[in-house]
Amino acid sequence: MSADHAPAYRSPPWPADEPWHLAMPEGTLYDALARAAHDRPTHPATIFYGASLSYAELRDRIDALAGFLQSACGVRRGDRVMIALQNSPQYVIAYYAVMRADAVIVPVNPMNKTAEIAYLAADSGAKVAIIGSELIEMFAPLVGEAIGHAIVAQYRGEVPAATPYTLPTCVTEAPSELPSLPGWHSWSSAIAQGLRPAAMSAAADDLMILPYTSGTTGKPKACMHSHRNALFTAVLQARWYGLGGDDVMTGFMPLFHVAGMQGSMNAAVVAGATLLLMARWDKDLLPDLFETYGVTFWNAAPTMIVDVLASARFRDRCFARLKVLTGGGAAMPTAVAERLKGRFGLDFVEGYGMTETMSPTHLNPMAAPKRQCLGIAVHETDARIIDPESRIELDDNVVGEIVVHGPQVLQGYWNRPRADAEAFIEIDGKRFLRTGDLGYRDADGYFFAVDRLKRMINVSGFKVWPAEVEAAMYHHRAIRECCIISAPDGYRGETVKALVVLDEAARATTSPDDVIDWARGAMASYKAPRAVVFVESLPRTASNKINWRLLQDAEWGRTA
């Protein structure tokens, strides 16, 4: 490998004149925010239902909260602090305040229940939590016991009284009363005290954040990421997408998840851009926000784009300044991709990453994206395809497990040495992460996903990968969304079942048998669904992906 450029097999799609090694700014993500506050103090850092915070205002609130964490809550270097907030200015402030206090961020899905929160608190050792007021009841049994301090924020405090926008209930509902017990603190009073934090001493390789995996195989595990890991993928994305201080970026993907955290919030901070926030996803609100603020960058799951294009409030002019449309986690339906390209000249630039890699290991080149493709390995990242059993590296166009090595790969799992032993392998003297994802690399160096290693359906001994079948099903013009799962079959052991959301216009003229007959002509017979069920909607995960595991478990649970 050249010291400055991509490996030869990646050179055709690699961005012209782009060095292989990424030039990194000094310090941490907090230092990047402090630079933006110094260089452009009045520039809008966040916009939230009509209210904006400048970079200088944002930094001042971050520092005040960091001072409170240290002085009032006893937070010390390396302590873990939970953040359970909706997307909001408060989330950005809390995230950077924990960092500024030399502590470790523990992002929490605000949909979690008390038992799930208790597990995260015990596993991480967090004694302090920063939460939204809608979660007081969920945290109440834990504060004073597992958790020593809880700082409670009200989202309405960052929304103008005369906002023209429809607000979600988490913003409008009267919050539960703050318990008058030791350990409970109000966000507003914590900020108002204006306490100054001690000098920041964190180094690049110190632990910065413990995001938890989804726990699809047992209890969730925390991924140990350093300041260097997090800064790397934020800088990488800001550079890849050509972001700068004049950009307006969406913060609609959940910020507790690495896709939204890195691709929206932290990339915006590194670029000194403006982050447009929405506390809860609202497809009908998006056109007004895009038109008013001139959004240039939209980080979205394909399902979000499908939702917006189907909204009665959508109009073409809201995409007038949009120059980058990116996301991942699921393939973009072909019909939607064609509409975006033909009508707006927009490519959906797909990428690939994991909680374990602090988001992307692969991105499609802006000048040469391929559809339904993970992209090429990004700066300083070595990605390969291996046989999952023999661990032998495979040739181009052969399906195997994707493994990755690079600066963004986690240090290890928090207190999980056995998981580390299973997750990492050595190839050519380098430590690679086994992703558990099956895919292949084409001759140009682009990677394509086939499916999760553990999602395979066994139909009479034939392997069926649901993601491959889903990609084919989206070629049917009547299908808006679909999810492929296995169903028990007394003869074959398992069979393929499709749960389908139809386009509104096709509902009166399309039957399940129509879809089954079409599928048999579009793919091998063992892959084609033998059962098709029409549904009104499909469940989503916290990161807005279709929750195939929930549907799969329900199917087999009914049989049991």
Residue 320 falls within a domain, yes or no? yes
Distance between alpha carbon 41 and the CA centroid of its chain, in Å?
Answer: 29
Residue 379 falls within a domain, yes or no? no
Average pLDDT over residues 415-440: 95
Residue 158 falls within a domain, yes or no? yes
Last residue of a domain, one of 288, 306, 328: 328
Model confidence at 460, pLDDT cuts 50, 70, 90, reads: low
> Which is more confidently placed, 555 or 38?
38
Residue 381 falls within a domain, yes or no? no
For 40, list phi and psi in degrees, rounded to 5.
-135, 65
Residue 400 falls within a domain, yes or no? no
Of 85, 78, 64, nearest to 209 (Cα)? 78
pTM score, two decimals? 0.84
Question: How long a stretch of residues is the chain?
Answer: 560
> How many structural domains is the chain composed of?
2
| pLDDT reported for residue 220 | 85
| pLDDT reported for residue 5 | 52
Last residue of a domain, one of 293, 328, 363: 328
| pLDDT reported for residue 263 | 97
**pLDDT higher than threshold 50 for residue 222:** yes
CA 78 – CA 469 distance, rounded (Å): 46
| pLDDT reported for residue 463 | 67
Distance between alpha carbon 225 and the CA centroid of its chain, in Å?
Answer: 15
Q: Which domain holds residue 502?
A: 455-559
Residue 377 falls within a domain, yes or no? no
Of 72, 75, 117, nearest to 99 (Cα)? 75
For the chain, how far is it from start to end, CA to CA, in angstroms? 53
| pLDDT reported for residue 116 | 87
> Which is more confidently placed, 4 or 261?
261
Percent pLDDT > 90 in the chain is 78
| pLDDT reported for residue 239 | 96
CATH number at residue 112: 3.40.50.12780
* Ordered DSSP codes for 434-470: EEEEEEEE-TTS-EEEEEETT--EEETTEEE-HHHHH
CA 437 – CA 167 distance, rounded (Å): 38
**Are residues 81 and 217 located together in one domain of the fold?**
yes
Last residue of a domain, one of 307, 328, 349: 328
Question: Are 437 and 453 spatial neighbours (Cβ–Cβ below 8 Å)?
Answer: yes
Taken in order 114, 118, 119, 125, the sign of the CA dihedral is positive
| pLDDT reported for residue 466 | 85
Mean pLDDT of the chain: 92
What does the pLDDT look like over 347-379, one tens digit per residue? 999 999 999 999 999 999 999 999 989 999 999
| pLDDT reported for residue 94 | 98
| pLDDT reported for residue 213 | 85
CA 512 – CA 516 distance, rounded (Å): 6
